[in-house]
Every structure is written in structure tokens, then in C-alpha cells.
Amino acid sequence: MVEFKKYSLNIKGRLVEIDRPLVMGIVNATPDSFYDSSRVLAPEAIAARVSDMIEQGADIIDIGACSTRPGAEVATEQQEMERLNIAVDAARQAAGDNVLISIDTYRASVARHCVEQLGADIINDISGGDLDHDMNTTVAKLQVPYIVMHMRGTPATMQQLTHYDDVAAEVLEELARKIDTLHQLGVNDVIADPGFGFAKNLEQNYRLLSCLEAFHALEVPLLVGVSRKSMIQKVLNCTANEALNGTTVVNTIAMMKGAHIIRVHDVKAAVEARTLVSFTRNQ
């Protein structure tokens, strides 16, 4: 087990310490996300989901309104905005200011709207700026923490772009270049996500997991998002609905390797795993 490296995030002038792994609860304000139990559209359902996550110990609520699973119909910018207007308002009413709100979007205009008009705290971009070249300068102006994920191509093409000579080294290098660009633009708080399941095959996903310690060389917090994904389903021969136990195992491995944020559908299980990992680390 590696030593946990502490960081802090500047959230609108308030320092948030990452002195233990943070649990990020997923709220999908979409009709077609890959895990159907995570889909919530009505404001009452969103508020109830967020309230449950907070009660279970979530530190961050990550709200997305444009599905990025392969084959999903891409929401228009207007559809994404309308869904987020409802979802973020409902989440903020349920969460108050005690929990951070992250927006899962690759569109710079959506990011700007959610931060400036809806009070979002963090931007989580699956493309790391590749799908909207205005994103880097936008987050620099907004001065909010930015999650830069590794992906190649688009959600529709990414699974044809899985050739790597050394997946860990190449993902690390590509993230390092993006982080350097962001720092040069004045983005101080960057979080790196290796992008499990995005332009990686099964073996490559587990190679990344086994080499996760190497990503601490980026000197930024690390986010791991594996919740109920096919990399777990395929190994265990189970469905997304049956993948909670596998998800908890992989999240535990990630936290033992020093992950700073765990993005999950199931907050209670992740919080319990964190408690046990932290207790073991402190012995």
C-alpha cells in the first residue's frame, strides 16, 4: 500500500483538503446511461438521489446530462443545458453548500453556464479538452478545478483506437502534456483521470490499474472511475446490475495505490471500502 499524498483544491477561494480519498457520487440526468439504475430526470428523483448520497457520505456529486457510452445518442447542447438546469438546481437544494457539485461535460459553453449561472464547483471533462478546444481557456477563466480524463477519439470511435505499445507510459505521457498546457494557461487545480474503459481494451484497463502508482508522477490528484463498467462485467461474467462487489474490489485496489477520488454509483459501499483502507493505512 502506497502512502497517501495530500493535496488541496481551491474552490472559489475556499481550500478543500484532500487528506483521504474522496467519494464522488454519480447522478446521470440522462435517459440512456449504461447503468439504468443511475438514470434520474425528475427534480424530485434527483434531490432524493443526492440526499441519499450525502447521507451515505459522498464528498462530491458529479452530474452529467449527455451520455458518453458507445452507441448513445448525443444530446444537443440545448438538451444538455436544460437537463443540467433542472439537475443542478435540485442537487444544490438537496446538498446545500456542504457537498461539492461537479459537472460532467465536454462542452465549454455548458461548463461556463454551470459555473457562472448554476454555481457548480468542478468541471469533469471525459475528453480532456479534445472535443471542444475552447475548454482549456474556459476553465482557466473560470478558475475552477478541472478533471482531465484520457480518451482517444470520441465515445463512438474510441474502441477502435486501442493500439498502445505501452498503455501506462503512453496514457501518462498524454496526460502530462495536457496538464502542462493547462498549468501554462493558469489552471492551478487539475485532477487526472486515466480514463478506464475509454479507448482501452480489457487487458489495458487492468494494466493501468496495476501501474496506477506511476501516475503520482503527474503531481496532481488522481481520479479513478470504474464503477460497474464492462472491465468488471467481462472478468466476472456479470451484468452492470451485478457488478457492485467487483466495483468495490477494484476501488479498494485503486485506493491502496493512492487514488484521491473514487467516482461511483454506490456511495455507501465506496465509503465503507475507504474506511477499511484508511484504517489499514494508519496501522
Whole-angstrom Cα distance, residue 123 to residue 3? 27
49 has catalytic annotation: no
Sign of CA dihedral 257, 261, 265, 270: positive
Q: Which one of 49, 92, 152, 229 is the catalytic residue?
A: 229
In the block, which residue shows the cell 501506462?
168
263 has catalytic annotation: yes
Q: Are strands 7-11 and 14-18 parallel, antiparallel or unpaired?
A: antiparallel
Whole-angstrom Cα distance, residue 186 to residue 194? 22
Q: Which one of 83, 200, 263, 274 is the catalytic residue?
A: 263
**Residues with active-site annotation:** 229, 263
